[in-house]
Structure 1
Amino acid sequence: MNIALWITAGLLAAAALASGGAKVLLPKEKLSGKPGGEWAADSSDSFIKTLGVLEVLAAVGLILPAVLDIAPVLVPVTAVAWILLMIGAMITHLRYEGGYKFAVANAVYLLLAAFIAWGRFVLEPFA
C-alpha cells in the first residue's frame, strides 16, 4: 500500500506542478485560449497566478515533507487541501459550455487526493 500511495502522490504532484506552472508562467490571454481555460478570461491575473502558486505548493507538499521527514503529516493535509481546490475547479468548469470534460478530470484528481489522504491518515501513516 505504501508504494501505491507514493506512486499516486508522485502522479498527483506532477499534475499539480504542470498545471500550476502553466498558470504562473503563461499569460492570461494564452491560458484563456486553451481548451478548458475559458474561465481565465473572466479572472484577474493575480487570481490566476495565486492559483498557480497554490498548485505548485501542493506539488511540493505532496512529496517533500515525507522525503525530508520534516512534518510528514503535511502530505495528507495537502491532499485534503487539493480536494477542496478540485471542488472549486469542478464548480468553475461546469459554468462553461463543454466544461464537464474538465470537471471529470478534476474529479479524478480529487479521487487520487482522497486516496492519499485516507491512506496517509488511516492505512499507512508516516511514523
Structure 2
Amino acid sequence: MHVAYWIVAGLLAALYLYSGAMKLTRSREQLAPMMQWVETTPMPAVRLIGAVELLGALGLILPPLLDVAPVLALVAAVGFVLVQVGAIVVHLRRDEAKVIGFNVVLLVLAAVAAWLATSFV
C-alpha cells in the first residue's frame, strides 16, 4: 500500500505544486487563457487557492516521508477532495461541464490517496 500511496501522492503533489505556483506567481491575464474562472474571481482568492495547493502538496509528501504527524497526509488528501468538489461546482455554475473531466480525475486520485494514507495513521 505504501508504494501505491507514493505513486498517487507523488503525481498529485507534482500537479498541485505546479498549479499552486502558477496561481501564486502569475497575473490574471497570464492565468485566464488556462483557467477562465480567474476572470471573475478576486485575485486574493486565486492566490489563497494557490497557497492551499502548495501546502497540500507538501502535506502529502513531507509528513509520511519524515514520519512526523503522518495523519497530515490524510488531511491533505481530504483537503484536495474538497478542493476538487469546489472546482466542479464552480465549473458547473459557469456552464463549463465539458471541462470537469480533469477535476473528476483529480477528485478520484485524491480520494484514493486519502484511502491509502490511512495506512500511515
> With structure 1 as the length reference, what TM-score do the two structures score?
0.89
* Structure 2 residue runs without a partner (length 5+): none
Give the AA of the match of 1:10: G
Aligned: 1:4 with 2:4: yes
Matches within 5 A, 1:53-64: 53-64=51-62
Q: Is the 8 A contact 1:62 1:76 kept in 2?
A: yes
Is contact 1:16–1:59 with CA below 8 Å preserved after alignment?
yes
Where does 1:69-84 land on structure 2 (aligned, <5 Å)?
Answer: 69-84=67-82
Q: Look up the match of 1:102.
A: 99
Q: Does 1:14 align with 2:11?
A: no
CA offset at residue 14 of structure 1?
A: 0.5
- Corresponding pairs, count: 121
Match in the other structure for 2:32:
32
Q: TM-score, normalised by structure 2?
A: 0.93
**Offset of residue 102 of structure 1:** 3.0
For the aligned residues, what is the CA RMSD? Answer: 1.3
Q: Secondary structure at the match of 2:32?
A: helix
Q: Percent same amino acid at aligned positions?
A: 42
SS in 2 for 1:33: coil
1:126 deviates by 1.8
- Deviating above 4 A after TM superposition, structure 1's stretches of 4 or more consecutive aligned residues are none
**Unaligned residue ranges in structure 1 (runs of 5+):** none
